[in-house]
Chains A and B, each alone.
Chain A
Amino acid sequence: MVMKNGFKRAGVLAVGALLLGVSACSQGSTTKTPEAGGQSSGPANIKIAYQQWGPGTVMKNFLTGAKTEYEAANPGSKVEIVPVVASENDYYTKIQLMMRSPNTAPDIVYEDTFLINSDITAGYLRPLDDYIKNWSDWNQFEETAKGAAKGQDGKVYGVPDGTDTRALWYNKQLFAKAGLPANWQPKTWDDVLNTARTIKSKVPGVIPLNVYSGKPMGEASAMQGFEMLLYGTKDTLYNYDQKKWVVGSQGFKDSLNFIKTVFTEGLAPQPKQSLDPNWGNKVGSDLLPNSKLAIALDGSWLYNNWLKTGAKPWPQWSEVLGQTAMPTQDGSGKGKVSLSGGWTWAIPAKSKSPDAAWKFIQSLQTQKNATKYATDGAQIAVRKDVAADAGYKSSSKSTQFFTDLVSVTVYRPALPEYPKVSNEIITAMEAVMTGQSTPDKAATNYDDAVEGIVGGKDKVTTSSN
């Protein structure tokens, strides 16, 4: 027994020694942090992480240009561009994993506004107020855009570089074949469905209507697909007055029913096409330019696929395609609906060189660069000076249309729970589109899940207003 205990003790000692060794290593790396970061404004190396998905290279080119500019202006400094090659949901996971540790945290990260509050709550991001108060350009930003990256503590955590709106894109040539008007103005959901039905019968072989749906398309399904419907009903996701999430709403079921209708009637792509994680790229770079899709519920940036620098140059797009607002369910309210999101540049809390990172963000957001990105990246401007720029205004035939939609646009509930709620929405959509659940059953599952996410019955309400 004695020897056995001795053996045990030796084992414990060995493990202890190893643990010490491991923690000593990590100690070493954490103590290095201040000296590498520091408050000095001398030369520094910064890493900037953004999402690279599909064939587009607008962001890559934009960042490469800014890097060259910055390195010339700050001799000795180095900017490392880290493209995170991943689909939408995978990108968030990857940068969250990176931001968890000081060893892997980038110095600048490109954050979707829908996730920023969740990441602020997680303690991943650094408040930028101290930097912003000395930055005159901040006055140029629209108030709504400034709010897009605000934490619940009232501090600003990101600099937005653009926003977007959503509407229906339609192919006028296919419409002409189906005997539909070139100046299409649907007033209700039924108008949209009936037009799609006409196309299905008159122009066979063409997908009448694309609405993103299901898990592989991630947030695009939740926001661009589902919420474009839901916010056209009398219901919403979140009741700001009661500070509660909405469950059991008729609007939610109606929206799921719309999804069911388009998929079961064959007005949408086949479910398995929609469930291809590459589907978003196919819509932009194949289906629309090759006239295989008549109507697309999609974003303002869509045309950047067709620019000379885009994935599928298509100069005729502005003649072939028209844009019209997505109507509300029965034409009531403002009659049309749009949702806005956008991305921001943020500095992770564990960045080693936040000062240099801020300097680089400033250089990304000079008026000249902001205009360049809004034009090349097909963004809706968030800066007044960019919005007034003649070059921006005439950058595309659709810019004016989508900028006007800002007056009716809705932002998603910018709350830490939103990303989880969004996952439940796409789960419900997928269950309905594949015929696994009825809309009612999927809505009930959603209600239960939301209750679990936000922490109980007293955190949810059945009233939207």
Chain B
Amino acid sequence: MTTSATAVPVPAGRKAGRNGRPRGANFVKMMPLAPAIGLMLVFLAGPILYCVYAAFTNMALTGTGAANVKFVGLDNFRKAFGSSAFTNSIWLTLVFTLISAIIGQNTLGLGLALLMRRSHRLVRNFVGTAVIGAWVLPEIVAAYLLSAFFNDDGTLNVILHKVGLPGQDWLYAAPIIAVSIANIWRGTAFSMLVYSAALSEVPKEIEESAEMDGAGGWRRLVFVTVPMISRAIMTNLMLITLQTLSVFGLIYAMTRGGPGTKSQTLPLYMYEQAFSFSQIGYGTAIALVMLAIGAVFSLIYLRGLNSEAA
């Protein structure tokens, strides 16, 4: 608690100093940035604006919408919110994000970071390599590995049968669970690294004094460690949520959003509508909705961060 309280004035002080300077100096200093800003505007803001424009048109890859693009107002959005396939994808996206990022990657990453802090160097190196290995694998390779793992006669079922449990055709019967686990497997390393860094900043003395006061492992974690790394938790949650919202390749390669629409999260639904079914306008409208969902999550986490700072 004390560290976060002392940390606040520093950036605030710096900010005041910058505002106090004459603007002219700033302008001259920023001149060398102009080309970079120009490029950003053209190649980053440009496509985004184009996407916003397309979302309000009937743009398509073939048919009428390809020859003469017309403004259709909010039609695409109306169509989206009136379609059960779209609401199904929003629901699946939220389930996927909740299971794989907020619960899975986040807690597992924290758990691993805590365990590794205490364990022997050999164990630490071994676990670290294994977890980070999953992370650095190309997405498509990871997806095929996990397809093989979850397949009807794949590794998972072989293991389940060995210990006398009934197998399950994961990719077919529980696709959203399968892709969520896959995403946890692949993405936990990121959370683990963030938390390892945050934990290394926690002064040993505070934990030791809590121990002296008679706090057990669990109480120390809940009342001392977690509050001290809460900023890292918020930042990590925000990053992994935004990453997970836009996961495409992993799900596409594992299930293609199927069977039916049982694992069709928003990015897959958008891809199908825009590129399989040629409806670019509708697809970009869905992309905007996705952007809005990401923004809502970010706002929630930012509030969390700010209230922490206050």
Interface positions, chain A 85-138, Cβ under 8 Å from B, are 89-90, 92-93, 96-97, 100, 115, 118-119, 121-124
Secondary structure of the A contact surface, majority rule: helix
Is A315 positioned at the interface, with any CB of B under 8 Å from its CB?
A: no
Question: With a CB–CB cut-off of 8 A, which chain B residues contact A374?
Answer: none
> Is A93's CB under 8 angstroms from B41's CB?
no
Stretch at the interface among B219-227, B271-279, B298-306: B271-279
Q: Are A14 and B23 also in contact (CB < 8 A) when A7-B30, A123-B67 are?
A: no
Q: Which of A15, A216, A416 contacts B256 (CB 8 A)?
A: A216
**Number of interchain pairs (Cβ within 8 Å):** 111
Partner of B66, one of A7, A124, A423: A124
B81 CB to nearest chain A CB (Å): 13
Residues on the B chain within 8 Å of A178, using CB: none
Assess A419 versus B63: contact at CB under 8 Å? Given A14-B35, A96-B278, A275-B259. yes
**Cβ A15 vs Cβ B38 within 8 A:** yes
Q: Which of A1-48 contact B (CB under 8 A)?
A: 3-4, 6-7, 10-11, 14-15, 17-19, 22
- Chain A residue numbers with a CB within 8 Å of B42 are 15, 18-19, 22
Does chain A have a CB within 8 A of B24? Answer: yes
Shortest Cβ gap from A276 to chain B (Å): 10
- Residues 154-207 of B at the A interface (beta carbon under 8 Å): 169, 171-172
**A431 contacts partner chain B, Cβ-Cβ < 8 Å:** yes
Flag if B63 contacts A11 (CB, 8 Å): no
A124 and B62: CB pair below 8 A? yes
Chain B positions 100-119 with a Cβ under 8 Å from a chain A Cβ: none
A436 lies within 8 A of B63 (CB): no
**What's the Cα separation between A80 and B23 when bound, in Å?**
59
Give the Cβ gap from A102 to chain B, nearest Cβ, in Å.
15
Q: Which of B30, B260, B272 contacts A431 (CB 8 A)?
A: B260
Q: Is the C-beta of B37 less than 8 angstroms from some C-beta in chain A?
A: yes
B261 at the interface (CB under 8 A from A): yes
What A residues does B35 contact at CB under 8 A?
14
Assess whether A334 is interfacial by the CB under 8 Å rule. no
Chain B residues in 8 Å Cβ range of A6: 27
- Check: A391 CB closer than 8 A to any chain B CB: no
Q: Given the complex of chains A and B, what is the CA–CA distance between A65 and B62 in angstroms?
A: 32
B107 to chain A minimum Cβ distance, whole angstroms, is: 32
Q: Which of B250-269 contact A (CB under 8 A)?
A: 256, 258-262
- When chains A and B are docked, how far (Å) is the Cα of A15 from the Cα of B40? 9
CB–CB A423/B38 < 8 A: no
Question: Is there an interface contact between B169 and A272, defined as CB atoms closer than 8 Å?
Answer: yes
Q: Report the bound CA distance from A22 to B43 in whole Å.
A: 11
B87 within 8 A of partner (CB):
no
Would you call B79 an interface residue if the criterion is a C-beta within 8 Å of the partner chain's C-beta atoms? yes
List, in ascending order, chain A residues with CB within 8 A of B275's CB.
90, 93
Interchain nearest-CB distance for B169 vs A (Å): 7
Given known pairs A123-B67, A419-B63, the reply for A10 and B34 (CB within 8 Å) is yes
Which chain B residue has the least Cβ–Cβ distance from A427?
A: B85
Q: How far is the CA of A445 from the CA of B65 in the complex (A)?
A: 23
User: B37 to A420, Cβ gap below 8 A?
Assistant: no
CA separation between A453 and B258, bound complex, in Å?
A: 23
Name the CB-closest residue of A to B61.
A96
Tell me if A96 and B62 are in contact (CB < 8 A). yes
Whether B262 contacts A434 by the Cβ 8 Å rule is: yes
Q: A122-B61, A122-B63, A122-B66 are in contact. Are A272 and B38 (CB under 8 A)?
A: no
Q: Is the CB of B276 within 8 A of A89?
A: yes
Q: Judge whether B39 and A93 touch: CB under 8 Å.
A: no
Q: Which of B3-30 contact A (CB under 8 A)?
A: 23-24, 27, 30
A215 close to B (CB within 8 Å): yes
Q: For residue B23, give the distance in angstroms from its CB to the closest CB of chain A.
A: 5
Within 8 Å of chain B (Cβ to Cβ): is A452? yes
Q: Which of A413-447 contact B (CB under 8 A)?
A: 416-417, 419-420, 423, 427, 430-431, 434, 436, 445
Q: Write out the residue numbers on chain A whose beta carbons fall within 8 Å of the beta carbon of B276.
A: 89-90, 93, 215, 423
In the assembled complex, the CB of A260 is this many whole angstroms from the nearest CB of chain B, namely 13
Least Cβ distance of B60 to chain A in Å? Answer: 7
Which single member of B39, B63, B272 contacts A118 (CB below 8 Å)?
B63
A residues near B262, Cβ cutoff 8 Å: 434, 436
Pair B61/A436 contact, Cβ less than 8 Å: no
Cα–Cα distance between A19 and B23 once the two chains are bound (Å): 28
Report the minimal beta-carbon distance from A322 to chain B, rounded to whole angstroms.
Answer: 33
- Assess A3 versus B27: contact at CB under 8 Å? Given A93-B275, A216-B256: yes
Say which residue of B62, B65, B169, B259 sits within 8 Å of A115 (CB atoms).
B62
**Which 4 residue pairs of A and B lie closest in terms of their CB atoms, listed nearest first?**
A122-B66, A14-B38, A434-B260, A436-B260
* Known contacts A92-B278, A272-B172, A434-B259; 7 further A-B pairs (Cβ under 8 A): A14-B34, A15-B41, A18-B41, A122-B63, A214-B258, A215-B276, A431-B261
Sample (9) of A-B pairs whose CB atoms are under 8 Å apart? A4-B23, A92-B62, A92-B278, A122-B62, A122-B63, A123-B66, A123-B67, A216-B258, A430-B261
Residues of A near any B CB (own CB < 8 A): 3-4, 6-7, 10-11, 14-15, 17-19, 22, 89-90, 92-93, 96-97, 100, 115, 118-119, 121-124, 214-216, 271-272, 275, 277, 416-417, 419-420, 423, 427, 430-431, 434, 436, 445, 452
